Amino acid sequence: MLARRDDAIAGIVPCYLKSHSQGEYVFDRGWADAYERAGGRYYPKLQASVPFTPAAGPRLLIRDGVDKDEIGTALASGLVALCEATNASSAHVTFAREAEWKLLAKYGFLQRTDQQFHWRNQGYRHFDDFLATLNSRHRKAIKRERRDALAGGITIHPLSGSDITEDAWDAFFAFYMETGSRKWGRPYLNRSFFSLISESMANDVLLIMARRNNRWIAGAINFIGSDTLFGRNWGAIEHHPFLHFEVCYYQAIDFAIARGLNTVEAGAQGEHKIARGYLPQTTYSAHYIADPGLRRAIDEYLRRERAYMAEAGRELIAAGPFRKTAERPNDE
């Protein structure tokens, strides 16, 4: 969807007309089921997001040098009009920036929040600098987990660029299919996807692989941004204690420190990440629901959900692993 100013494109919202709710990470299947049981038709719906990833970022793309309020308003009202023109039940703008979330609320979009868990780089030079900020219990636990993860001759191999071979992709795809089939029932990325990203953006991919007895046994894929490492899919064909934490979380921290990245986004869900130094971060989505009755029901639900998410976030931060200033980092 485009907004024009003086015969030039001033703003864009990339969006999709969808007949399902797969690959979105902001779950509305309950809304769809309830609406269809009541005789409505939830699909198709409009979706503005980055496909297959819960990465937050701008969704209303506005050209520099134009009035951002004017063009943002045009894009917001245009989404409502596009929803009606396509006979979609709803329009969903997911993992948006907070400012976009607030703007869309002015045009009837319902506000939803959720949580991810992110690690923040505080100018650390080494992993031990990060460990020094944790309380004694968590510091000791992480050291033990990293040590035990490599028991039995397991080695870790961070691969990027030309170091990612088709053999590594074959192994990672097997991991992805095994874990995805077990957790989701039907993984949605095919083998060709991984070769294509290797051809087009290999230097922006970090594949962290684990090896034992001369074969790959586990791996995690990450995407390297300008200031953020985006952790995504993980899988394994052998299961070893703490290997998941090492491959997905600790190696990502090591890489972010070495590269000078500010943040590691570890993907959706997972309160177990808090003990590893990843703290809750609010994410924002906005939802335009065309049917007034369904809109009222969802609005009431989201009011309660937002209050719960805010309180849960405060409690999780308070229970985080970072030491109080009075505790000395060398108390072990």
Q: Mean pLDDT throughout 96-113?
A: 96
With beta carbons less than 8 A apart as the criterion, state whether 248 and 272 touch. Answer: no
Q: Mean pLDDT throughout 219-234?
A: 94
The residue with greater pLDDT, 41 or 324, is 41
Q: Mean pLDDT throughout 289-316?
A: 95
Q: How high is the pLDDT of residue 185? A: 60
Q: What share of the chain is helix, strand, coil (3-state, %, to 5)?
A: 40, 25, 30
Q: How high is the pLDDT of residue 326? A: 41
Q: Predicted confidence band at 184 (pLDDT cuts at 50, 70, 90)?
A: low
The residue with greater pLDDT, 181 or 114, is 114
Domain ranges, ordered by start, for the chain:
2-115+281-318, 122-261
Domain 122-261 has CATH 3.40.640.10: no
Adjacency order of strands within the sheet including 228-236: 16-18, 45-48, 90-96, 279-289, 110-120, 263-268, 228-236, 215-224, 205-212, 155-160
Q: How high is the pLDDT of residue 23? A: 83
CATH architecture under which domain 2-115+281-318 falls: 3-Layer(aba) Sandwich (3.40)
Q: Mean pLDDT throughout 70-90?
A: 95
Residue 134 phi, psi dihedral angles, 5° rounding: -95, 155
- Residue 320 reports pLDDT greater than 70: yes
What does DSSP assign to residue 322?
A: B
Distance CA 288, CA 295 (A): 8
Q: How high is the pLDDT of residue 52? A: 84
**Pairing assessment for the beta strands 90-96 and 279-289 based on DSSP bridges:** antiparallel
- Residue 327 reports pLDDT greater than 70: no
pLDDT in tens, 118-145: 999 999 999 999 999 999 999 999 999 9
251: helix, strand or coil: helix
Q: Predicted confidence band at 332 (pLDDT cuts at 50, 70, 90)?
A: low
